[in-house]
Structure 1
Amino acid sequence: MNLTDYVNRVSEEDFGLPFKHEAKWNPRLRTTGGRFFLTDGHLDFNPKIYEAYELSIFRQIVRHELCHYHLYFQGKGYRHQDDDFKQLLRSVDGLRYTPRLTPKLLFSYCCDVCGQTYHRRRRFNLERYRCGSCHGRLVLENRSYDG
């Protein structure tokens, strides 16, 4: 089954409406799961999301894009901030935001005097900053990933 057939099946099952345009894979997408194009009505989907997550997550992303699609062609509010969109998305159990593909790196710092720990997304100069509690020296403990 190709992507357009899958999107049409999801549209029929979850919305009770046909999907009459084309669905395509777009490997250039980085932070988004999919896109709806107003000009010709086609949908783009991120193949990395399909590979990284289970089919149920991808189906929720398809539902999200189909909310844009069906609301636009019905002449209702199809944008993220519109109440029509929010209500339809909730009713079909679509994802509001795409899950992250790359986890963010976390840096853990520990004070060598009082043991206070600090977690930061950015690395900083240990010579310049001190502990906020006791003004002791900070030591980089480890780097970890926030999934």
Structure 2
Amino acid sequence: MKFSGAGLFMLLLAAGPAGAQNLDNLQTMVSAGGSCPVFSVGSERYSCSGFVYTKFRNGRVSFTFPMADTAISFSGGRDSQPSLDNYVLFVDAVRISAGRGEVRSAQASGRCRMNASDDGLVIHSLSCTAETDRQEMRIEFRGNGKPVNRRSF
């Protein structure tokens, strides 16, 4: 999955009001292609072909997994990077955005763990798990070995 500048912008808008209100706050967007052998929201199963990492100037970060007419975002304001190739986001919110502008947001507890090349240009894997008061979400992403598409704002 490789998004153009307009594609990245539209994906952020698809994230709904939370995404739209942060457009001025946008710092970095990175898209990576691959597949999701595991992608579940409650008892529902999905697939993916990539994700978008978004970093905002206020320190918040999200991993968004776009689908045909929906996007699921794992978001947090606290992270760590124990080594160059490992990154952890502590998830405190999830958002599910439908194509018609409907957005469901919920407080959540979980984490995303990303493994990348030391230079950050190739994403090897990303796993996200989060629980809300209603359901559990789990995604296991495997990168396609190609360099990411990065855009700074």
TM value normalised by structure 1: 0.31
Q: Comparing both structures, which one devotes a greater share of its residues to strand?
A: 2
Looking at secondary structure, tell me which structure has more helix per residue.
1
Normalization by structure 2: what TM-score? Answer: 0.30
Report which structure shows greater RCO (CA 8 Å, sep ≥6).
2
Q: Which one has a bigger Cα radius of gyration?
A: 1
